[in-house]
Each structure stands twice: as C-alpha cells, then as structure tokens.
A = this chain, B = another copy of it.
Amino acid sequence: MAEATRRRLAERGLTKGDVLEVARIAGIMAAKRTSELVPLCHPIPLDAVEIEFELIDADQVGISAEARTQARTGVEMEALTAASVAALTIYDMCKAIDRGITIENIQLEAKSGGKSGDFRRSP
C-alpha cells in the first residue's frame, strides 16, 4: 500500500474504525464459514483461529493466520480463508484513500498433523 495509507492505518487514523481489529474479526468469522465458500471443503469444527498483523517496511502489512482443530482433516483452507478475508477487509477500509493496494502472496507456510503429513514452505 502507499506509505501514507500505512501511516494512517498504524496511527488508527482512518475514519471507519480500527482497521486491523475489524480485519482480525472478519478473518476469524470467515474461517468459520470456509466450507460454505470453498465448494469441496469439509465442514470442520475449528478449535481456534488466530490472526496477527505485522507492520513491514514502510508500505506493507503482514498477515499471519493460524487454525487448529482436532478433526481428522486439515485446516489449511480455514487459515488461508482467514488471511484472505482479513486482507480484503483492510482493502475495503482503506480504499477510499488508496485504491492501488495489492494483496500479495497468500500461501501456506507450515502445517502439522492431518493425514497428508507435515509441510513447511522452503525458503
């Protein structure tokens, strides 16, 4: 995003509310509805979803989402959906001042458990 946008976001200076808190809630709520959005995704009783934001350089916001369950199926789709909707929410709340924001690199970083085994993205 533009540096001016990131500055106002960090200072909570956007009129529509606390952008990152709204994005966090939006991401958590979207994670719970992943199986309604992604057609072949199983409904899974999530135990927890956590979303964290990090201010990177002068013009980026990093989003990390983590999902946990005790079900037999993986929950990477829940985490990716949480991150995507959190990013869309940031875009929505900043678009009045910065339409050029880009959402980049939504990807699985690491996964453990589940029948398909562990995964860790190679650097």
Contacts and interface: CB of A to CB of B under 8 A. Distances in A.
A42 interface: yes
A108 interface: yes
Contacts of A41: 92
B121 A37 contact: no
Residue among A42, A77, A103, A122 with most chain B CB within 10 A: A103
Interface string A92-117: 11011001111111111001000010
Given A22-B25, A39-B26, A91 B100 contact: no
Contacts of A99: 76, 108, 111, 119
Interface in A2-60: 16-18, 21-22, 24-26, 28-30, 32-33, 35-47
Contact of A43 (B45, B87, B108): B45
Given A102-B105, A103-B105, A37 B45 contact: no
A24 to B, nearest CB: 7
A81 B88 contact: yes
18 contacts: A16-B40, A17-B25, A21-B22, A25-B39, A32-B43, A38-B88, A40-B92, A40-B93, A41-B92, A44-B45, A76-B95, A77-B88, A80-B88, A84-B84, A84-B88, A100-B121, A104-B104, A104-B106
